[in-house]
Amino acid sequence: MTQRVIALGFDPGLATTGYGVVRRSSTGWEAVAGGTIETPPATARATRLQKIHEEACALIQAYHPDGVAIEEVYMAKNTRTAMVTAETRGVLLLAAADVPIYCYTPLQVKKQITGYGRANKKQVQLMVKRLLHLAEVPQPDDMADGLAIALCCLIELSGVQAEKHAYL
């Protein structure tokens, strides 16, 4: 029997942080949970970051993941967006301090999930649906991204080499 492995993935954002929990079991890969952590824009930034941290800690406590994956801030169209996303990543890193942490750029996620680093969002979502045997494409987009990031971590934890198994 295959050992159960759980990965928790985060798509960081101050307004909306997507997350996904996936597991490998004897029957294959499956989505365990997914959703978003949302913070209201009128709330102070520190309070918003605190909420993200608290909810991330609660997810880690609830699912006891073998790895936590957080998307990297790769590039942004404006500096302010990059800064608040980096702050969100910081509180997620802090929440996961006691768990092995894996970080992936958007390009790495696309490559790992679809085999093509320039895949569009829809292509990634369709492959997540297929790999996790879901009935529908996961929604909202932030949650779908969290599942894709968690799936990258699960693939790495499972020892699958993406270059050799681009389409798994």
In tens, the pLDDT along 7-42 reads 999 999 999 999 999 999 888 899 999 999 999 999
Question: Domain extents for the chain?
Answer: 5-157
Partner residues linked to 11 by β-bridges: 18
Return the CATH architecture of domain 5-157: 2-Layer Sandwich (3.30)
Region 44-54: mean pLDDT is 98
Tokens standing for residue 25: 């079991």
139: helix, strand or coil: coil
Cα separation, 140 vs 149, whole angstroms: 15
Catalytic residues: 11, 71, 142
- Is the confidence at residue 138, as pLDDT, over 50? yes
Cα separation, 33 vs 19, whole angstroms: 8
Ranking 2-6, 80-84, 106-110 by mean pLDDT, the lowest is: 2-6
Q: Going by C-beta distance under 8 Å and a sequence separation of 6 or more, which residues neighbour residue 9?
A: 19, 20, 21, 22, 68, 69, 70, 71, 145, 146, 147, 148, 149, 150, 151, 152, 153
Tokens standing for residue 87: 């702050």
